[in-house]
Structure 1
Amino acid sequence: MSNIMDKLKFVEEKADHYWAKRITSQLEYAIQLNKVLEHKYDEDLTDSLDFLSGEIAREGTITETAAKAAEKKLDLLSEDAKKYRMLCVAHAHMDMNWMWRWEETVTIVLNTFRTMLDLMEEYPQFKFSQSQASVYRIVEKYDPAMLEEIRKRIHEGRWEVTASTWVEHDKNMANGESMARHILYTKRTLSKLLDIDPDSLNLDFEPDTFGHSLNVPEILARGGVRYYYHCRGYDGYQLYRWKAPSRKSVIAYREPTWYMGAIEPSMAYYVPGFCSEHHMDTMLKVYGVGDHGGGPTRRDIERIMDMADWPVFPRMEFGTYGEYFALVEEISDQLPVVTGELNPIFTGCYTSQSRIKKGNAILQDKLNETEAFASAASLSVGAAYPTRQMEEAWEKVLFNQFHDILPGSCTADAREYAMGLYQQAAARTDTETSRALRSIVSHIDTSAWASKGIYHLFNPSLYARTELVEVTVWDWEGKKENIQFLDSDGKEVPYQLLSEQDIPYWGHHCFKTLISAHVPAMGYATYVLTEKKAEDVLPPFPVQPRVERRNSYTLENERLKVVFDSRTGAIVSMTDKANRHEIIDPNQPAGIFRLIEEEDSPGMTSWVVGNYRRVTNINEGGVKFTSLQNGEGLLRQSLSYTASFGESTLRVRIYLDRDSSRLGFEVECDFRELGNSEKGVPQLNFHMPVGYDCRAYRYDIPSGTIERDETDMDVPASSWAAAMPKDSGRKALTLIAGTKHGFRCVKNSISLSLIRASYDPDPYPEVGHHAFGFFASLPNITSNRELIEEAYNCSHPICVVSGRPHKGELLPRGSFMKIQEGGIAVQAIKMPEDSTDTNSLILRGFETEGRRTRVEMSFSRNVAKAYCVDINEKPVESELDVRISENHVSFG
């Protein structure tokens, strides 16, 4: 065979015109065919190559006559050659706002589609496939006449809609509910817009997505999506069944070459080997100019038509993904099974363009709360549910989850447009949340509290919460030293003033307080602000320093004792008081900020975290403490410091609440670091080593959790990472960072990538002011559910709505629904999309422990009927045993 390959190489060097390239391409294909046929045609191939070599020796080139003669010699291979087929599927990869502005994206879409429609007119056999609901929304808005032309081609079977998601989106930082909404809104929108069956949208086409989280097959299968096309994140099988932990699965095709490009003869060389390996006679070829749109060219189409007539070549046909996966279905029982996540790839994308990631995380949380509160308002007081308004807000967030926007591998123009969409979506969520809560408040009986400050506290969680809640008191004319807070039973509750002086605000004034509150699950509690009678107030003794004491940089409550270094602000001790376990190794100070210099990765700094070239402990340079509030009697203890690094400054506030197991960090950073090809990429990083041996690290991911071994590279998480101890009697230190996603867990430590000064494609992605927070927590690790709930509470603070005295039918304290028992996390509470009935409710959740569980929930009203639906809100048969008893529902 090596001799044949040497001869082929010699003749290919003389292939400088059509006929020469045609015969050498057929010879290359014939050689690959010969391999799978156990060298059946060795002599024939050698004879043809020797003939061409002789012609080259005589003529100095491969003449047309010689090429035709050699082709004739290969006629006996034609029958075997034509047993295989290459199905050519046309596609235009259109990046949403990658390196350009929104108006250019619109132009890309419309110009590409116009070209495709023109080519269909010119070539009756040509077919085209296009993903992403967003591009069809663009046509609807900017060129509705074109939409009618597209519908016509769809109904002819020549335009294939391959969208089951709003955009080709990120699969690691978009949460599980976002993934569900991609499917829900895409199928609903396109089925109506294009007059197609929503069940036909059964392919998730993700050619360029940067990695794929563990539960993607589960989410897709629950949404009626059967097939998955991807290119990145996995280098194993090319055709396989990808199975989630639940055993739900999809048929996956990993592109063996590339997901865009021109039609070239070389693509056929892979066909015999691929088909032989997979026991098929057809291989898929995706073609078309991409990134900036474009799609197939006339040259591509005419090459396919021409190659179809080559005698020693596979059958070349225009086709669709639907046709190809129908063939794969026939051999689906032979496909290898792949389990686990398909990660990582492009580790820088877990951190780059941090403002975009912050916007996405905040809006996902806001959407969750708005839908839950609006559902509660609808069920409890008959308020109208904002179905269409929520869909519009979701569309904006889903668009920004495109695989070059949310991952941050984009330009400043793309970021600015994304931030504008977030503001629009936030305006909608804030408005609808306020409307829902005020509609509930208007029905709460507060008539007993005339002339008092009334505050209604709302909890979006399905579990009751006891914690500190910040209450802002407006225009209080009494004496702050005489105030008291009472619960709805008249019992005084502890409070702490956060601001001694009133804060002026546009003609008003206010002060902030913390109160210790208990709020029922998915419900509300009412608290009253009043002023003690003068005769009940003892005069305070004057506060003057009598003894000088050294500052103790310690924060301590009933659960934790945290000691900080008085020079660096680093944590030198963190004690779990319940078990008397030390969490920190005193030889490795924790809770420190680091400036990391990454090695340069030319042309890919947004995408790739480079090797660490230099690591500088920012705290070690010394910090300036600006406040210290600790000691007995405080609901919240805190310390604050400032530090500097490079051209940048940090302002850090660390706090510990009464009876809390989590240490909070509030950070403001004026970031002025710039990356370049000489000094690489500066990164601001938070580092938390632990003083115990870790067996693994647990992370939250879309609709679940995952455990990974230690690895010296960034890996993705939705919001947290836990250092799981080998000693099962220990609690796991957990770093909860709701708006950050890049964690590096190695050598018994957790690091969090905060800001990266990548320099391409955006040279200045992070310059400016940043504000973010995170927690170092010691939650109960007996279940994933408790970890998930802890993180949920960190990102979903209790909402406060002021009230006034009036009568109402609702009690001052109430719960609309709650989880009584079971290992479940509920990720969405909403009303059905197609229903105006305020008596229906949809809950979407996931089992948290990896085993069968029995879940019981209770509601504020009796339940008439309960059943399972899929992501598209269609009733489905389920193995779950669903039982109803008055206002209780159990299933499992």
Structure 2
Amino acid sequence: MTTVNPMHAKLAKLKSNYTSSYWGKRIIAELEYANRISVVHAHKYDELIDGAATYVLNLGLTHGTISEHTARHAESMLSELADEAKSYRVLCAAHAHLDMNFLWGWDETVSATLNTFRTMLDLLDEYPDYKFSHNQAAAYHIVETYDPEMLEEIKRRVHEGRWEVLASTWVEADKNMPNGESMTRQFLYAKNYICSLFDLAPEDLQIDFEPDTFGHSANVPETLHHAGIRYYYYCRGHNNDGHHLYRWQSPSGKSVIAYKEPHWYDSRIEPGMVMTVPEFCASTGMKTMMKVYGVGDHGGGPTRRDLERAIDMNSWPIFPTLQFGTYAEYFADVEKIRDQLPVIQQELNFIFTGCYSSEARIKKANRVSETLLNEAEVFASLSNLWTSAIYYRKSFEEAWRKTLFNQFHDILPGSGVSETRDHALGTFQEIVALANSRRSAAIRQLAAQIDTSRYIVEDEDLRESFSEGAGAGVGVKDLFRIGESDRGRGKTRVFHVFNSAWRERNELTEITIWDWNGDIRNLAFYDDEGNTVAYQFIDRGFMEHWGHFYLRVLLDVEVPPMGYSTYILQEQEGNMDVLTADDYYLTRENIPPNEMYSFTLANDRIIAVLDPQSLNLISLMDKQTGSEYVDRNRHGACFRFIEEDAFQGGGNAWLVGRYRKVEPLTQGLHIEACDLGMDKLRQSVTYRVPFRNSSLRVTISLDRGSTRLDYDVECDWHEYGRKDDFTPQLQFVVPLSYPCDAYKYDTAFGTVLRNPMNLDVPANSWSVGIPQDQAKGLMLITDSKYGFRGVEDSLSVTLLRGSYAPDPHPDTGTHTMRMAIDIVECHNNASLIEESYRYQHPLNYVSVKAQRGTWPLKQSLMRVEAGTVAISAIKLPEVTIEVPRCLIRVYETEGIATMAKLNLYRNVTGAYWVDIMEKHSGDHPIQIAGTIIQFPVEASCIANLCVEFAP
């Protein structure tokens, strides 16, 4: 039998009848707070509180209200616990939550920011004890750009200590989808900017303030540690074992103090906010609790009522001490009990499952931005170190700032309106222009050093050459390649293929030949040693483009790590038979009768069998082991149209609903082309299938020597969700032939292992089904998707969603996307990360005229020779000095300490550890031997080095 606490009943009766007056609200709040104190002190004050409550209730019943006299007398009855009540402190930390481009466009974001800050400055003038705090460097950049006079006022308040700058990041970014390098740049560019703007030191910015971020990946503490961040404030996020104050530890062992908001960050000053103070303090060993207040999303912040209430409630005798303060003040108190805090080591997810797939174009823009900036910095750094080319730091910073802004937690997750999307995609075009122009210039500068003089044809008549100007800009929009330039001339063409990866690559790459005037029947390719190189035509002959003519081929290339190879096109009489369409393109009409209904793609490593009617992948076999990886009994790997239950509580961009209907896309399928046979460099099948109001065009291909089956997809999407009906979804699913106990996903600076979950979970680009009893498993990798699902021995990825709110038409129109299925060593994280990098970063090439130079036709400029590390970035430091140097950031992939060994192919004169802010950090020895450096990297850690070279 449950016993009813008579104190609770009296308080409930008082609250339901006597809170209409100020004095009623006051004494009832004091009684409730006193009762909370008594509970944590083993009910020490129960009798005292019961007497005061009975007195107030009786007079309330007698007079119908609670007067000042009644309240004050009751307070005197409680005076015995007044000191205990006041011994608890509530530090009131103000903020104004400013969502960047959430339910509004950029112009409104600017207006909300400026108007909010103006209000805060006015309140600071009026209330001398009031303090205000604000994060997000982007908000201060708005002020600097649009109201520099206001900025001067803010600076004065900052130097007074009454305006706390919390801007350790550029924006309150999503922390599940951005890669590790993006996370580092949030801190690098925000801290550098803020310290310069307000004359602060990096040590003044030790708090990462993320009240509304939708989840927090496992390596966030590792990144924060290297950025000089000691404290983490957040509100949304599960799996912290119920703790509100704890040490959040990364897999490496690095930790930060995390404060999980006990109430809600977007709130007001009210009496009820203190009721959890005694319990919170009892559980943490502190005497102070922080109250975060200030209404927001669209700005606004604390109001006059908030300030007046705080001042008034601080005068209540049976209430905690209320003080205006800053977040830094609170965490300074927490620091005293750091060693007593519980330790949590896990990711803090998952909040909004729809945010990993809503607004597909924004997500693709983020992936491409990260990819291009990585490559541009790699090649620009190499170009600077090897050729003294200019390194455009400001261009990179500008492009990164735009990328970081678009990672705001309502932009990248797709939980904004159409104006949100339009602005993000507009800035994306600027990012691509900045990154691509720098990447192109760097690669061409490197190519200019290569000696190809042996291919100069002295007596060739070039007066009829018209390849100049051909294809300018081709490939930039859809393939995100560097634009065509130079293109060579005459019948001998020189192609340099560049690799940004830290390992050697042997694969097919696409080459475009412009305005070649030789006999196509005699076309031949050679490597730097004069060996014939295999190739395959993509086009059925030369195609026309704005008065020029091009021919695309697949070339089988081998390129060293972070280096280049050279390939020569020449006319070689008798090289091949006459080119005909039938030789390279088999349409349904000319498939040999015995192969009419057989669609098998096979090479020396795998066999992939497609169902002849649905073209579902019904078998994927490893030839070496004979192992099967796809379950044909569950219809094989296929595309599915899903009807989700519409979310009945707000915008369904945030949540993926229950699957109420699943429809495989197999009806009305039309085969457009086939190119089959083991003699091919690339085998492929292309088909089109209509569904509902949309259509899907898919090319499935397999390259020679590869275990990866590629899917190139184009979807013309016209499906719209409705609140009273369903949310449409396009999904790709792979049923596995083996049982899975767990699934592995890539995350920022590493990987994470998760149990099967029947919901979408975030990954940077891939997922792997981990088998129970074998080393190899199946990997599902994408070029632009983030929402994966590993459950019931299957892998799936959400490709498109027709969410109806906040944006009613988020993804209307044509989408291009790539994904692949690969048989992998699933316990080797380094190889999985390398595979993903290669997939996201196709080889680059330039076509140039033959020239004299000093470099060989093939060489590496940097490589990882040993150690379980992956390279996150190669860039030049933010501060320029005369000594040639570069910054290299790596991270350990296997969870074991390792010794990394890099060959930089240039004599190293010095190397030292730095942090994310590029300041000296750490004293572990770095071994230098000529062009080789070796250094230890702890398990699951980031390592940042600055390497100096001889002039």
| TM-score for both structures, normalised by structure 2 | 0.92
Secondary structure of 1:237's aligned partner = coil
RMSD between aligned residues:
1.5
Which residue identity does 1:257 align to in structure 2? H
Which of the numbers 914, 918, 927 marks the counterpart of 1:883? 927
Q: 1:301 maps to what in 2? A: 307
Please show how residues 519-598 of structure 1 align to structure 2 within 5 Å: 519-533=559-573, 548-551=593-596, 552-598=598-644
1:691 aligns with 2:705: no
Q: 1:738 deviation in Å?
A: 2.5
In the alignment, structure 2 segments of 5+ residues that lack a partner are 458-491, 584-589, 937-951
Which of the numbers 501, 505, 509 marks the counterpart of 1:465? 505
Q: 1:548 deviation in Å?
A: 3.8
Q: 2:866 maps to what in 1? A: 821
Q: 1:782 deviation in Å?
A: 5.1
Residues 448-457 or 62-71, more deviating = 62-71
Secondary structure of 2:913's aligned partner = coil
Q: 1:71 deviation in Å?
A: 2.1
Q: 1:129 maps to what in 2? A: 133
In the alignment, structure 1 segments of 5+ residues that lack a partner are none
Cα shift readout 1:276-317 (whole Å, capped 9, x = no counterpart)? 111111000000011000010011001111111110000010
Distance 1:124 1:686, change over 3 A: same
1:16 aligns with 2:20: yes
Please show how residues 681-720 of structure 1 align to structure 2 within 5 Å: 681-720=727-766
Which residue identity does 1:426 align to in structure 2? V
Distance 1:836 1:799, change over 3 A: farther
Please show how residues 713-732 of structure 1 align to structure 2 within 5 Å: 713-729=759-775, 731-732=776-777
Contact 1:378/1:838 (8 A) holds in 2:
no
Which of the numbers 809, 820, 844 marks the counterpart of 1:764? 809
Please show how residues 192-591 of structure 1 align to structure 2 within 5 Å: 192-234=196-238, 236-451=242-457, 452-533=492-573, 548-551=593-596, 552-591=598-637
Identity among equivalent positions (%) equals: 47
Which residue identity does 1:530 align to in structure 2? Q
Please show how residues 701-850 of structure 1 align to structure 2 within 5 Å: 701-729=747-775, 731-781=776-826, 783-837=828-882, 839-850=884-895
- Structure 2: distance between partners of 1:437 and 1:397: 23
- Structure 2: distance between partners of 1:546 and 1:200: 70
Q: 1:542 deviation in Å?
A: 12
Q: 2:662 maps to what in 1? A: 615
Q: 1:233 deviation in Å?
A: 1.2
Q: 1:853 maps to what in 2? A: 898
Contact 1:567/1:622 (8 A) holds in 2:
no
1:76 aligns with 2:80: yes
Contact 1:379/1:838 (8 A) holds in 2:
no
- Structure 2: distance between partners of 1:26 and 1:69: 13
Q: 1:553 deviation in Å?
A: 0.6
- Structure 2: distance between partners of 1:57 and 1:599: 51
Q: 1:540 deviation in Å?
A: 8.5
Which of the numbers 643, 646, 656 marks the counterpart of 1:600? 646
- Structure 2: distance between partners of 1:72 and 1:217: 49
- Structure 2: distance between partners of 1:207 and 1:548: 64
- Structure 1: distance between partners of 2:829 and 2:653: 32
Residues 62-71 or 373-382, more deviating = 62-71
Cα shift readout 1:813-835 (whole Å, capped 9, x = no counterpart)? 11110011110000101011102
- Structure 1: distance between partners of 2:582 and 2:84: 98
Which residue identity does 1:851 align to in structure 2? I
- Structure 2: distance between partners of 1:837 and 1:763: 54
Q: 1:695 deviation in Å?
A: 2.8
| TM-score for both structures, normalised by structure 1 | 0.98
- Structure 2: distance between partners of 1:302 and 1:458: 65
- Structure 1: distance between partners of 2:39 and 2:879: 57
Distance 1:291 1:410, change over 3 A: same
Contact 2:777/2:824 (8 A) holds in 1:
yes
Secondary structure of 1:284's aligned partner = strand
Cα shift readout 1:401-460 (whole Å, capped 9, x = no counterpart)? 000000011111000000011110110011001110111111111111124111110000
Contact 2:605/2:623 (8 A) holds in 1:
yes
Secondary structure of 1:866's aligned partner = strand
- Structure 1: distance between partners of 2:626 and 2:296: 60
Figure out how many residues of one structure are paired with residues of the other and give that number.
888
Distance 1:146 1:43, change over 3 A: same
Secondary structure of 2:311's aligned partner = helix
Which residue identity does 1:459 align to in structure 2? N
Residues 331-340 or 75-84, more deviating = 75-84
Distance 1:541 1:764, change over 3 A: closer
Distance 1:55 1:520, change over 3 A: same
Contact 1:94/1:293 (8 A) holds in 2:
yes
Secondary structure of 1:608's aligned partner = coil
Cα shift readout 1:620-670 (whole Å, capped 9, x = no counterpart)? x25211111001321100001111211110000000001011000000101
- Structure 2: distance between partners of 1:479 and 1:99: 59
- Structure 2: distance between partners of 1:441 and 1:546: 43
Distance 1:148 1:543, change over 3 A: closer
Distance 1:80 1:377, change over 3 A: same
Which residue identity does 1:199 align to in structure 2? E
Cα shift readout 1:167-225 (whole Å, capped 9, x = no counterpart)? 00000101000000001111100000111111111101111111100100000001100
- Structure 2: distance between partners of 1:287 and 1:345: 22
- Structure 2: distance between partners of 1:424 and 1:540: 41
Residues 670-679 or 426-435, more deviating = 670-679
Distance 1:383 1:692, change over 3 A: same
Distance 1:321 1:649, change over 3 A: same
Secondary structure of 1:572's aligned partner = strand
Which residue identity does 1:521 align to in structure 2? P
Q: 1:537 deviation in Å?
A: 6.1
Distance 1:546 1:644, change over 3 A: closer
Which of the numbers 699, 706, 725 marks the counterpart of 1:679? 725
- Structure 1: distance between partners of 2:50 and 2:700: 77
- Structure 1: distance between partners of 2:738 and 2:57: 71
Contact 1:592/1:687 (8 A) holds in 2:
yes
Q: 2:472 maps to what in 1? A: none
Q: 1:539 deviation in Å?
A: 7.0
- Structure 1: distance between partners of 2:372 and 2:581: 46
Contact 1:718/1:738 (8 A) holds in 2:
no
Secondary structure of 2:831's aligned partner = helix
- Structure 1: distance between partners of 2:184 and 2:848: 36
- Structure 2: distance between partners of 1:711 and 1:182: 31
Q: 1:853 deviation in Å?
A: 1.1
Secondary structure of 1:173's aligned partner = coil
Contact 1:212/1:342 (8 A) holds in 2:
yes
